[in-house]
Amino acid sequence: MKILVTGSSGLIGSEVCTYFSKHGHNIHGIDNNQRAVFFGPQGDTSWRLKELRNTLPSFDHHELDIRNRDKVLDLLKILKPDAVVHTAAQPSHDKAASIPFDDFDVNAVGTLNLLESCRLNCPDSPFVHMSTNKVYGDGPNHIALREDATRWEFDDPAFAQGIPETFSIDQCKHSLFGASKVAADIMVQEYGRYFGMATCCLRGGCLTGPSHSGVELHGFLSYLVKCNLEGRHYKIFGYKGKQVRDNIHSEDVAHFIDCFLKAPRSGELYNLGGGKDNSCSIREAFQICEEYSGKKQNYEYLDENRIGDHICYYSNLSKIMSDYPNFNINHSLNDTIRQIIDAQIDRGK
């Protein structure tokens, strides 16, 4: 297959490129290192592009901004890919407030440019979109919670296994990032339902892995590990550091995308995270990181939480496991953190 991957130098995009290249597919990547523009030198992903070029024989890079409609249309007209995996995004709900036009143009308009280009040039090709759990806004914060020693936990039996796809996205605070991703998410679903295209939205939890260029505003575990190894102060924003996230390794995300491309559906959506078993609070992540690195985590606590931040969130994986029984989570939370530590030490040598 010829697979087009947007955001191909980023965490999920580069993992998808590597995964499918190893399985014998031809990969075309779109990336313009916008992460460095959004987050500065720490967000630079040019090192990952260099790795892809050096290690993947079937990889072609396209320096292209998905906001450029004409260039997106022209590229899709030439390539006519057999599948599109859309991972490019402005990924930070904090950053979005200071760059609302850029945020919406990348996340919403860029997605529309790709969808319409696919409809015009390769309507039978599956389209997988990396959405986000932020489409649910702060709605999960209104679920009954209990405070345990190291984490907040759902105290409502209906959410014992996490947030399902039926959870409402209405009447809550999303952040501007969440709103732009809602627009993209709904548009991807609509192209599937209205035009009959094979489309899928993956509402990710904390997507992570050894290839992540984590920064304070985006990349929870990667940035936490970086602070630990370099002796930096990590800032905890509110909720006593007990706020919970589920974490999924980028390779497991690529594995599910493979499952979907082999058996595509129309206008589908799935919550894709590590689930309850791979969830942790910030304080619990400190403990695991310290165990593997041998270094004490330096941190400071700020009472004020981030706007719209989830107190507790992990994905209910019942639907995705039911529809795709060959999919499973292969990387545990502990193994993922260990891999991130090892990778950052290797890159620092």
**For 225-283, how does the pLDDT look when each residue is reduced to its tens digit (9 = 90+)?**
999 999 999 999 999 999 999 999 999 999 999 999 999 999 999 999 999 999 999 99
% of the chain with per-residue pLDDT over 70: 100
Residue pair 202/130 in contact (Cβ under 8 Å)? The answer is: yes
- As a whole number of Å, the CA-based R_g of the chain is 19
Band of residue 102 on the pLDDT scale cut at 50, 70, 90: very high
Q: What is the pLDDT of residue 32?
A: 96
Look at residue 205 in the predicted model and tell me its pLDDT.
87
Using alpha carbons only, give the angle 141, 203, 40 rounded to the nearest 5 degrees: 90
Which two three-digit tokens encode residue 84? 């599109």
pLDDT at 219: 82
3-state SS, one letter per residue, for the chain: CEEEEECCCCHHHHHHHHHHHHCCCEEEEECCCHHHHHHCHHHCCHHHHHHHHHHCCCEEEECCCCCCHHHHHHHHHHHCCCEEEECCCCCCHHHHCCCHHHHHHHHHHHHHHHHHHHHHHCCCCCEEEEEEHHHHCCHHHHCCEEECCCCEEECCHHHCCCECCCCCCCCCCCHHHHHHHHHHHHHHHHHHHHHCCCEEEEEECEEECCCCCCECCECHHHHHHHHHHHCCCEEEECHHHCCEEEEEEHHHHHHHHHHHHHCCCCCEEEEECCCHHHEEEHHHHHHHHHHHHCCCCCEEEECCCCCCCCCECCECCHHHHHHCCCCCCCCCHHHHHHHHHHHHHHHHC
| pLDDT in the model for residue 211 | 87
Q: What is the pLDDT of residue 155?
A: 98
- Dump pLDDT digits (tens) for 304-341: 998 889 999 999 999 999 999 999 999 999 999 999 99
Per-residue model confidence (pLDDT) at position 213 = 82
Q: In the prediction, which pLDDT does 308 show?
A: 83
Q: What is the pLDDT of residues 108-154, one digit of tens each?
A: 999 999 999 999 999 999 999 999 999 999 999 999 999 999 999 99
Fold for the domain defined by 2-348: Rossmann fold (3.40.50)
The answer, yes or no, to whether residue 349 has pLDDT greater than 60, is no
* 93 vs 112: which has the higher pLDDT: 112
C-alpha to C-alpha distance for 64 and 223, rounded to whole angstroms: 27
Tell me the whole-structure pTM to 2 decimals: 0.95
Q: How many CB atoms lie within 10 A of CB 345?
A: 12
Note the pLDDT of residue 145: 98
| Span 90-104, average pLDDT | 94
Q: Is the pLDDT of residue 73 over 70?
A: yes
Return the pLDDT at 295: 97
Q: What pLDDT is recorded for position 210?
A: 93
| Residue 243, pLDDT score | 97
pLDDT (0 to 100) of residue 119: 98
